[in-house]
């Protein structure tokens, strides 16, 4: 969809430049107004050209409305993809993905049966926080208990540090740690 928007914006810009050039030539007197009026009359008298002009005009009206009312959303989406923006009467606070990932990593590595923790934070359209956690575990680990404790502890730490509620924490146990297996 972004490619189509860019193409239509380029076409839109060229047409605006053409119209500006025509008005520029008219104001300076370098072209005759009768030529422009004659071209417009020929276009309006031909049904095919009239229908094409209606479609093109409708597209441009919709593009103009989109740019006026929805153009600022692209910056907001960019901002939100990097973090969660919290606002209050005193100002704004952007909590980055890196901050949340570091908090999650510190909690996960605090458990002695976890290793090689990799965290990915995802923000959806409603600014809900989802965490995907991939890790290695010790051979004698009770995985269900570990994952439950991790989820509870991560939610507590994130809530306390950032006041954000975590929608879901998905844990993937990638493998059993080989270091501890060799030691036994």
Concatenate the DSSP letters of all residues of 119-133 into one string.
EEEEE-TT--EEEEE
Which helix (H) or strand (E) is 37 found in, with range? helix 33-45
Q: What is the pLDDT of residue 34?
A: 87
Domain ranges of the chain: 2-71, 83-183
Write down the pLDDT at residue 27: 87
Cα separation of the two ends of the chain: 56
Summarised one tens digit per residue, pLDDT across range 119-147 is 999 987 777 889 999 999 998 889 999 99
pLDDT lower than 70: segments of the chain: 1, 71-81, 179-184
* pLDDT (0 to 100) of residue 183: 47
pLDDT value of position 135? 92
- Fold topology of 83-183: Alpha-Beta Plaits (3.30.70)
pLDDT at residue number 79 = 41
* Alpha carbons 133 and 149: distance in angstroms, whole number: 13
């Amino acid at each position: 969809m972004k490619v189509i928007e860019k193409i239509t914006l380029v076409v839109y810009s060229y047409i605006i430049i053409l119209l500006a050039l025509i008005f520029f030539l008219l104001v300076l007197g370098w072209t005759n107004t009768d030529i422009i009026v004659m071209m417009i009359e020929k276009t309006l008298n031909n049904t095919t050209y009239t229908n094409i002009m209606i479609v093109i005009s409708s597209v441009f009206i919709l593009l103009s409305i989109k740019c006026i009312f929805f153009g600022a959303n692209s910056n907001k989406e960019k901002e939100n993809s990097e973090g969660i923006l919290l606002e209050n009467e005193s100002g704004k606070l952007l909590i980055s993905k890196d901050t949340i990932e570091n908090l999650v990593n510190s909690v996960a590595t605090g458990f002695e049966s976890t290793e090689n923790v990799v965290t990915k934070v995802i923000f959806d359209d409603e600014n809900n926080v989802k965490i995907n956690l991939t890790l290695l575990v010790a051979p004698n680990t009770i995985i269900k208990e570990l994952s439950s404790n991790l989820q509870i502890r991560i939610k507590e730490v994130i809530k306390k540090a950032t006041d954000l509620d975590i929608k879901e924490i998905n844990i993937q146990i990638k493998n059993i740690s080989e270091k501890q297996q060799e030691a036994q």
